[in-house]
Amino acid sequence: FLEKIFPASRTTTIRKDISGIRQLSGESLYEYWERFKKICASYPHHQISEKLLLQYFYEGLSNMERSMIDAASGGALGDMTPTEAINLIEKMASNSQQF
C-alpha cells in the first residue's frame, strides 16, 4: 500500500532532502525549523530516527545559529535527549520569530 503512495524513488528524494537540508541565507531559525518540520512531515515513513533528524537539522544550521544553540544547550545538543533538544529548538525558534 505505502509503495503506491510513496514509491521508492520518492522515499530516496525525501531522505536526501532531509539529510541535505541547509539554513538559507537570511532565513531565521524559526523559518528554517518550520521548513525542516514540513519536509519531515511530507513523508512520515522516512524511517529516520529522531536523533539523526536532529543531527541533520543541526548540521544544516548557519554557524551563528549553531553557536547560539550550542550555548543554550550547554555546549552539546547531541548530549540532550531528542525530546529535550526539540523543546530547546522550539523555544529558540519561537523566540526568534518574535524579533
| Tens digit of each residue's pLDDT (9 = 90 or more) over 4-39 | 555 677 777 888 889 999 999 999 999 999 999 999
Counting Cα atoms < 13 Å in the Cβ hemisphere of 42 gives 15
The burial class, CB within 10 Å (0-12 / 13-18 / 19+), for 67 is: exposed
Give 40-71 as a DSSP string.
HHH-TT----HHHHHHHHHHTS-HHHHHHHHH
Domain region containing 15: 2-97
pLDDT tens track for 30-75: 999 999 999 999 887 788 999 999 999 999 999 999 999 999 999 8
The residue behind cell 541533520 is 56
Top-confidence residue, 96 or 41: 41
Q: Check residue 76 and give its pLDDT.
A: 82
Number of domains in the chain: 1
CA angle, 62 then 28 then 39, to 5°: 85
